[in-house]
Structure 1
Amino acid sequence: MPVPKRKMSRANTRARRSQWKAQVPALVKTVENGRTVYSLPHRAKVVEDSVGTPLFFEYKGRKVADA
């Protein structure tokens, strides 16, 4: 693991940290059963029954995991 040779000043530390910015996630809008659903692309989505109980995870139309 790399170890710094010298102490980093407070100003330099804060300048480096200020470059980290949160990004808005790219949501994909789909309509399922007359309901608009927003989801993240390339992620497994939760399939729920009519009551709202999670049943399993689905990706590209296939079941990938149990909920």
Structure 2
Amino acid sequence: MAGNPPKRRLSRSNTRSRRSQWKAKAPALVKTVENGKVTYSRPHQAKVVTDSQGTELFLEYKGRKVADV
């Protein structure tokens, strides 16, 4: 949703100082150990459960099945 157009020109200094606040953040990762394997996953996000061949079975969150893939 775009706001109203500016009433006056924004100075170069103000434009650059505003743009300097746009920063990319590295995603927060949680380290877990499953079956002797270290994996990193994003917190509060369902993960895909696969079988031994790598076929995706379902989505799991906090140890519970939440959706089919």
Task: Please tell me the TM-score bracket, short chain as reference.
Answer: 0.7 to 0.9
Structure 1 segments unaligned to the other structure (5+ residues) = none
Deviation at 1:10, TM superposition (A): 4.0
> How far apart, in 1, do the equivalents of 2:12 and 2:57 lie?
50
Deviations 1:11-63 (A, max 9, x none): 43232111111112221111111111111111111111111121111111111
Following superposition, which runs of at least 4 residues in structure 1 exceed 6 angstroms of deviation?
A: none
Structural RMSD (CA): 1.6
- Number of residue-to-residue matches in the alignment: 67
Percent of aligned pairs with the same amino acid: 72
Instruction: Tell me the TM-score normalized by structure 1.
Output: 0.80
Aligned counterpart, 1:2: 3
Change (3 A) 1:19 1:51: same
Structure 2 segments unaligned to the other structure (5+ residues) = none
